[in-house]
Every structure is written in C-alpha cells, then in structure tokens.
Amino acid sequence: MAGVGEVIAGRYRIDKVIGHGGMSTVYLATDTKLNKQWALKEIRTVGDAEQRDVIIKGLVNEANLLKGLNHPAIPRIVDLFQTDAKNADEIYIVMDYVEGRTLSRLVTKKGPQSEQVVADWGVQLCDVLDYLHRRNPSIIYRDVKPSNVMLTPDGAIRLIDFGIAREIPGKGTEGRTLLGDPRPLGTQGFGAPEQFEDGAPIDARTDIYALGATLFYLLTGVNPHTNPMKPIRQIDPSLSEGLEEVILRATQQDPNKRYADCAEMAYALRHYRDRDAAHNRAFRRRVRIFNGLVIAAVVCLVLGLACIPAGNASRNKDYDYWMQTGAQSTNDAAAEQAYRNATKAKSDSIEPYEKLIALYENDGQFSTSEEQTFNTLIVENTQDLSKNSDNWGTLSYDTGLMYWYFYTPDSAVASASSSATSAEADEQARGLRVRAASQWMHNAADSTADIKDKAAVYAEIADFMTQIDAKIKQGTDSGYSKHFEELRKLVENSQDETNPVMRLDVANLTLYALQTYPRNFRAEGISKDDMLALAQSAVDLAQGTTVNASDSTQENNRKRAIDSKDATTTAIENAFIDVTGQKGNEA
C-alpha cells in the first residue's frame, strides 16, 4: 500500500486514501506533469493464476471499453500500468476523480432515501444505461448496484467500475472481437437470473433487473443479496404503489416481462405517481357520481375533452425535463440525446432543434454524422413543424446558416488533404455548403418569418453560385448585377453579426466574387467605385472581426481577407482597362 506523499511511476503523488476494497485501494493523486488530480486505483494481485487472470482481464476490459465512451455519468480511464519489479504484484488504474460517495455508503449512514429522490436517481441511471445499450455493439454493464453508483455533491449520478461490462453481438459486428468477459459474472441479489446461467443470453433487460434491485435497496435499505426481494410496500406501506409497480416489473424473473428498454423504464419512473391507488380511487369516485346511459355519454364527452389538456400537461412535463437536461449537461453527446428526446415529446416545437444547431455550431463544424441525426429528426416531424409558418421559417433560416457556414461533410475533409491549393479547397468546401443550404434558405424566404428578407438574400446568392458555372459553359450566364446587389446586402446584414466564422466567410465570399467577376459586373452596369466600395466594406468587416486566439482557422481566414485587398483592387482596376490598354467607361 502506498503512503501519502509517495510518487508512483515517477508521476502520480499520493494525496490521500479515498476508498478501500477487498483487493484494491483508491487514492486521490496529483499528476505532477499535468498538475491535475486523478483517482488512482491500486490493485493487489494474487498468486493464484486463474484469479489473477480474472483481475487482469477485468482491468484491461474496463480500460478498453471506457476509452470509447463519452457520457457525463461515465468517468474516463486515462492510464493502466504496472510499476517496477519491486511492486510487480500491484497494478494501477488512473481515472477521473469523482467527488462524492457511493449510494451504498449513503444508505448505510442515512438509511432508506425518499421515493422522489430515488426516482430521480433511477431516471439518471436509465439515461446512462440507455446510452450504453444503444451503442453498436451494445454494451451491457452487468453490475448495477449501489456500491457502483457515485452521487456527486450537486446530485448527479456517476456509474463506476466497468470491470465486467460486456459488448454483445449486434448488426454489423460480425467478425469483430467483442470486448468483455463472456463468463457468467455479476453480483448475487442485484444481478439478473440469466447472468448466472451458462449460455443464457443477456441484453438491456439484464441491466434493467439490476437497476430495479438497486432502487429496491435505496427505498427500503434491505440488501437483496441477503434478503429476497418483496413488494416494497410490504416493507414500508407509506411508499408509492406506482413506484412499487415499476420495481416489480423491472425485477421480473422472465426478461420478456420486464421493461423493453431503459427509455421505457425512465418514462415509468417519471410518471410513477400517476399509477398510485389514491389517484385511481379518486378517479373512480368521480365516475360513480354519474348514473344512466345519457349521463354516462356526457361523462365520456367530458372525459374525452379533459384528456386533451391532461395529455398536453404530461407531454409538456417530459419536454421540459429533456430541455432542462440538455441545458444542464456538460457533455455534448448527452445534451444531443436530451434534445432528441425533447423533439419526440413535443414534435411541433422548434426549440430543441435550435438547441441542437447551437450545439453543432459550437465546435465550428457541422459533421456528416450530426447532419444525419439532425435531418432524421426534421424529416420525422416536418409536418408538425411546418404548421406554423413563422417558426418553420425561423428554423429553416437557422438550419440554412448552419449549413452555409459550418457544414463539413466527409468529402470536404477529404478534399482538404488532396492536391488542391488552400484557396481552391476553401472554394470547393464553400460550394458544398452553399448547395446544402440553398433549399433551407428558399424555405425561409417563402415563409412569413421576420427573417424572410435576409433568407431571400442567401437564396439568391445560392442560386447564382450553384448555376453560374453551367451557364458560363452554355454561354447563357447573366444576373451579375443582381448578384452584386445581394452581396452588398449580405455584407450590410453581417455588420451586426458577432459570430467570427460568419463575418469572415461573408468577407472572403464577397472578395472572391469581386476578383472573379469584375468584368461581368462592369458589363451589367456596376461602376468601379461601387465595386471598390464593396471591397473596402468586406475588408472592414474582416478587420473588425475579433477571432478566437486559439483558433488558427479563424485567424487565417481573417488574414486572407485583409491580405486580398490589393489583389481585389487590382482585379477591379484591370476590369476597366480595355484590350488597347486604355481605361474603359467607369460608369
């Protein structure tokens, strides 16, 4: 066992002991190279070869599984090592330090917890387990129990110890080596019956059983390992009948009788009070007031109408929950999932889509995978979303902006590494973004939203940019003067824009057009002074942009726009010099 102040592997200084186990000690340690605190888990191995193999496999499995996961309730493993021969019997794991205490320790010290708190913890656990189950291949945790769940000071749940978690076969996993020990492992009392049967299949419902057993323990303080589970109200009659039903269903011996997935169980936990006997008795008393077929028909009508606000209230409650979850999440993947759930709770609201747009734009790239997720949600709910023209127009406009400035499809990434010059690659990428944004801008321009005029500017520019090359080849190119005017409007509209990516893209787009089409602009009546003025406005837009100091792309785009002033001026001047060398008409 390491002592306080001792430095392990020349790097990790022991600050204090924060936990003990049968074969392990967990320390709070400072990484002297990064000046960051980690949890350092010291595993004391044993001489028995088979037992040692189980320990090593569990550690390696945990490290390999966790390095591919990204969820706020899952701590990261950052290192796994053995020290020199002197300590060869000890293995160390370096992981995120999670401040707080386990739920088993909490119950030991403070006794059973309130049902509302336990239901909230259950919903949080459903969220992280659902994240694991929906991966491909699916990950089954296999060891949900109070001692593997940490509660942070701010009330958040963290799932620890992935030692026996296991990937299971799924679509597209043929031929792949799946992580995890295939042997039947788990904790008696909390583990589902199928976990301890050789060859028995496991799936998401296996974790659902263990979650139900964990909730049973948190509500009653009774350990199901030493005392078989029974309906919780037989232990404490004051507990909710609805919550009792949730736990009974989750812990059915037959997996087919449990909840199908964690999303379904989470819904039941959020609505457990709806199933309470008191609620049902009150409802029956109201119904018994009415007698006779005529009165019963009236009752049916009243109840039918009443179901509308009741259903809306329930739907709104779910929607508010997921929106709040997304807003509070510090993890992008978890926030994305919460907003996706919100779109299902209220299919006609644009708010979760706007939150997704902000999330996707945050890192400066709207990726192909993000596009697939976003478009799938839009397609599923287009009919409901488009019922309100103002909202649909606003969403279409913001979606168009996301495509126009942030879309980074795989093809664009590939072209960036090809033989194309930086400028050529930028223009190719812009072309892809504009084509993708075009229809969204047309949708917004055709709406009644306040931004329809701004959307029309983008739509006109998109039409010009996507059609001009073909028209030039056919000799039918025109519309340059209109394109010039739309560019001028775009620069004017961008003066109040604060996003550096948008400002710099507008500046470079305008300067590129002035370098490429000055003779065409002149031919359609645009004066040299107007072109030079627009060029200066574009350069001023770039110069007035504050870029992120750590973002080299923004700085490069700003520099490119400013540095292109002379080349743009020369191109415009040359457009007004005829082949004889004489200056042409500048008006």
On whether the CB atoms of residues 92 and 9 are closer than 8 A, the answer is: yes
Residues in contact with 112: Cβ distance below 8 Å, sequence separation at least 6, in sequence order: 218, 219, 220, 221, 236
Q: What is the mean pLDDT of residues 160-186?
A: 67
Q: What is the mean pLDDT of residues 419-442?
A: 74
The token pair at 58 is 């569990």
pLDDT in tens, 284-326: 555 455 445 445 554 444 555 444 454 455 556 688 889 988 8
The token pair at 148 is 């593997």
Pairing of strands 12-20, 7-8: antiparallel
pLDDT of residue 486: 93
Neighbours of 245 (CB within 10 A): 16
CA-nearest of 100, 159, 150 to 132 is 159
State the chain's mean pLDDT as an integer. Answer: 83
pLDDT of residue 135: 87
551 pLDDT band, cuts 50/70/90, is confident
Q: What is the mean pLDDT of residues 406-430?
A: 60
pLDDT of residue 185: 74
69 pLDDT band, cuts 50/70/90, is confident
Is the pLDDT assigned to residue 419 strictly greater than 80?
no
Which of the listed ranges 84-93, 135-144, 359-368, 465-474 does the model predict with the highest average pLDDT?
135-144
| Least confident among 65-74, 142-151, 388-397, 446-455 | 65-74
198 pLDDT band, cuts 50/70/90, is confident
- Say how far apart CA 189 and CA 8 lie, in whole Å: 37
Which of left, alpha, beta for 228 (phi over 0: left; psi -120 to 50: alpha)? Answer: beta
pLDDT in tens, 156-167: 899 988 878 888
85 pLDDT band, cuts 50/70/90, is very low
Is the pLDDT assigned to residue 445 strictly greater than 70?
yes
pLDDT of residue 108: 95
Annotated binding site: 41
Would you kindly state where each structural domain of the chain is located, as residue ranges?
7-95, 101-279, 347-469, 478-587
pLDDT of residue 52: 67
Annotated binding site for ATP: 41
pLDDT of residue 98: 87
pLDDT of residue 315: 53
Is the pLDDT assigned to residue 579 strictly greater than 50?
no
CA-nearest of 23, 22, 5 to 14 is 5
Tell which wins on pLDDT, 292 or 546.
546
Residue type, 506: V
415 pLDDT band, cuts 50/70/90, is very low
Q: What is the mean pLDDT of residues 480-486?
A: 93
CA-nearest of 414, 373, 410, 334 to 130 is 334
CA-nearest of 433, 446, 340, 463 to 393 is 446
| Least confident among 29-33, 93-97, 173-177, 573-577 | 173-177
Q: Please identify, in words, the CATH class of the domain defined by 7-95.
A: alpha beta
On whether the CB atoms of residues 275 and 241 are closer than 8 A, the answer is: yes
Q: What is the mean pLDDT of residues 507-511?
A: 93
Percentage of the chain lying above the pLDDT 70 cut: 81
Q: What is the mean pLDDT of residues 79-106?
A: 80
Chain centroid to CA 126: 16
Percentage of the chain lying above the pLDDT 90 cut: 44
pLDDT of residue 331: 85
Q: What is the 3-state secondary structure (H, E, C) of 90-147?
A: EEEEEECCCCCEEHHHHHHHHCCCCHHHHHHHHHHHHHHHHHHHCCCCEEECCCCCHH
Is the pLDDT assigned to residue 413 strictly greater than 50?
no
Tell which wins on pLDDT, 235 or 163.
235
CA-nearest of 115, 118, 139 to 207 is 139
Does a cis peptide bond (omega within 30 degrees of 0) precede residue 137? yes
Q: What is the mean pLDDT of residues 533-540?
A: 95
pLDDT of residue 175: 47
CATH code of the region 101-279? 1.10.510.10
Is the pLDDT assigned to residue 244 strictly greater than 90?
yes
| Least confident among 162-171, 220-229, 242-251 | 162-171
Tell which wins on pLDDT, 108 or 578.
108
Chain centroid to CA 109: 36
Is the pLDDT assigned to residue 519 strictly greater than 90?
yes
